[in-house]
Structure 1
Amino acid sequence: MSTFTIDTSTSRATPSPVPGKRMTAPSIRARKIDGKTAEPIVLLTAYTMRMAQLLDAHCDMLIVGDSLGQVIYGLPSTIPVTVEMMCAHGAAVVRGSWHALVVVDMPFGSYEGSPEQAFATASRMMKETGCAAIKLEGGEAIAPTVAFLTQRGIPIMGHVGLTPQAVNVLGGYGARGRSSEEAEKILRDARAIDEAGAFSIVVEGVIEGLATEVTRAVGAPVIGIGGSAECDGQVLVTEDMLGMFERTPRFVKRYDDLASRISEAAAAYASEVRDRSFPTAEQTYQPK
């Protein structure tokens, strides 16, 4: 047994332990009873230890989304994101949280080939991050993989509707389900993932009425993003919600304008450095 301990009072990287038990996939699944979720499930994305610390007490789940490709790395889409990226950020979020169930996305190309490929990727990600669930995109075509993984001890969150990893097939990020044919397909996709054993399903960027219909059609809790207030829960990209970017999707509500506040703080710092008013005696070490 290691005798090494970390001083949580001085380490930025280590959150102070708090009483309580971390949420689990079965506990999330059990929130939906007879087709209804009395208290909506709260989710946000997190990509770093510190953000996980700040969000943890307020969320039932934290998603380490492959959206980190755009939010953190400035990539044009989620397509270039690697397993290594997801593992590094997933481990940081697990270290920064104590309460929320941490879900990590499997990136494009890491699971579509076969159920066996998906299991190899998912098991690696769970081992390297310490997360308790994995998310993947797709409907009927990926349902056998969802069943394969859940039968082997890996809790799966599904994702239907607008699936960003399929942007090249979909032709963009527009809302889905406007035609009756597409709406029916999304419903079939959700039912297939539900029947395969997913403990929850994200429905993204679909017509409001369809999101409500999907929520009522499946037993697993449905998490909306650009869906409906009638979904069993909601998720947003945290940086979008905080106003870190000038452009955000239509379905985002900005709860702050953090970008402007960061810029203002940086401007104040730069001004004080240039006029030599920082640092002062309060920020420097004097002889005893």
Structure 2
Amino acid sequence: MRQYFEKMTEFGVALNKGQLLSSEQNVKNILEVEDGIDVEVEKVKNAGMPTEKINARGAMTVWQRLEYLIDPGTWNPLHTLFNPEDNEENTTNVIDGLAKISGKWCVVAGFDNKVMAGAWLPGQPENILRVTDLSKRLNIPLVWLVNCSGVKLTEQEKFYANRRGSGTTFYRHAELEQMGIPILAGIYGTNPAGGGYQGISPTILFAHKDCNIAVGGGGILSGMSPKGYFDLEGAEQLIAGAKQFKAKPPGSVDIHFNETGFFRYVYEEEKGVLDGLKDYMKDMPAYNP
């Protein structure tokens, strides 16, 4: 077969001048489309609070965390412009893609803490489902960078219901773990209520010293009320009681590292969390494409 292909008769003819000119125009049109996409991607990257303001608070943005975490030249972004609910923020607030960490391929996803402190936005559940599907199909680890303020309350009806809603995260994480696919999560900042979903179901949690996770909501708080339901009066009583409470708050590193055991590792610096993820990825089996 090798000799046949080496000596086979050539076929086809050279492109004529008109075809070449047409090809040049096609290339120009494609480049213009790509330039337009680049403009929209930059809008997503620059959305929300300025990077300088986040850094002034002693925190890194999700983009800075990604740049530090992944191997140079391996980032393949996905869903950056994905906005299935056409929400006003023009982003699902989850930044994800394929990348290598310590030489091993994985799916990486992080909440954009520049936009509403990483809140759930419409369309985000569908994006997260695609992220977990990718990890399942490729049989590679899923690495989360969690920094989520919870659901955008004014649109919370768009998140919880149906088999593809935000609760699907629990099921899919359990499914991946049963398949032997690890889920690693670096935890930053305050992650209340829905913000805790990605923070309580991964395989191993790498926590920054100032972070916390706490799943809650009106349904849970109503169980603390003798009335059996939750209302304004009950909320005010809980707030007043909390102000008198001197113990360390639930959801803190002290609780989840020393008591519940949710946090496997705790780090003093933000980059320490990322270094911990890098070190753990060194021991992962390599994906063979």
Shared fold (TM-score, shorter chain, > 0.5):
no
Task: Specify which structure has the higher proportion of helix.
Answer: 2
Structure with larger Rg:
2
